[in-house]
Amino acid sequence: MIERAEADAAARRWIERYVKAWNSNDEADIRGLFSEDARYLTDPWIPAVEGADAIVASWLERRDEPGTFTFEGDVAGVDGHTFFYEAVTRYDSGTTYSNLWVVTLADDLERAESFTEWWMDQADKS
């Protein structure tokens, strides 16, 4: 059983590496985040991207250019190898998203086996 402090520290390390990959769009940085058979859901209503190769390709297809966004958040909770991360992403274009991520780390606590993100546009829709 993983201790809560160890799980929290692993979550924070993973997020740091994720943000690094987000800012670099480097294939090795992205690939290092995910197990070979990982599932990545960018939208709960579409099929998951499955496998590290497909995740890297998908990421690079929809990549954000470095320096065009800010990202801040914190671990909202941990449950074993799964952590929950609440954040805000602000793009230079003016779009701001609230984010909730659910990430399950592999046994090595370095790579994600599963990543699901929910995002909400904070724009006034009225």
CATH number of 36's domain: 3.10.450.50
Q: Which two tokens stand for residue 12?
A: 């924070």
In a domain, 48, yes or no: yes
Rounded Cα distance, 90 and 115, in Å: 21
Residues 19-31: b if buried by 16+ CB within 10 A, e if exposed: eebbbeeeeebbb
In a domain, 87, yes or no: yes
In a domain, 109, yes or no: yes
- DSSP string covering 35-86: EEEEEEESSTTSPPEESHHHHHHHHHHTPPPTTSEEEEEEEEEEETTEEEEE
Q: Which two tokens stand for residue 120?
A: 């909400």
User: Residue type at 49?
Assistant: V
In a domain, 23, yes or no: yes
In a domain, 12, yes or no: yes
Element (H, E) at 97: strand 96-105
- Structure confidence at residue 1 (pLDDT): 78
Rounded Cα distance, 46 and 37, in Å: 18
In a domain, 96, yes or no: yes
| Structural domain boundaries, residue 64 | 4-121
In a domain, 117, yes or no: yes
Number of domains in the chain: 1
Segment 58-94, tens digit of pLDDT = 999 999 999 999 999 999 999 999 999 999 999 999 9
- Structure confidence at residue 126 (pLDDT): 58
Local confidence pLDDT in tens for the 126 residues of the chain: 799 999 999 999 999 999 999 999 999 999 999 999 999 998 778 899 999 999 999 999 999 999 999 999 999 999 999 999 999 999 999 999 999 999 999 999 999 999 999 999 998 665
- Structure confidence at residue 125 (pLDDT): 67
In a domain, 126, yes or no: no
Parallel, antiparallel, or unpaired for β 34-41 and 112-121? parallel
Rounded Cα distance, 119 and 84, in Å: 13
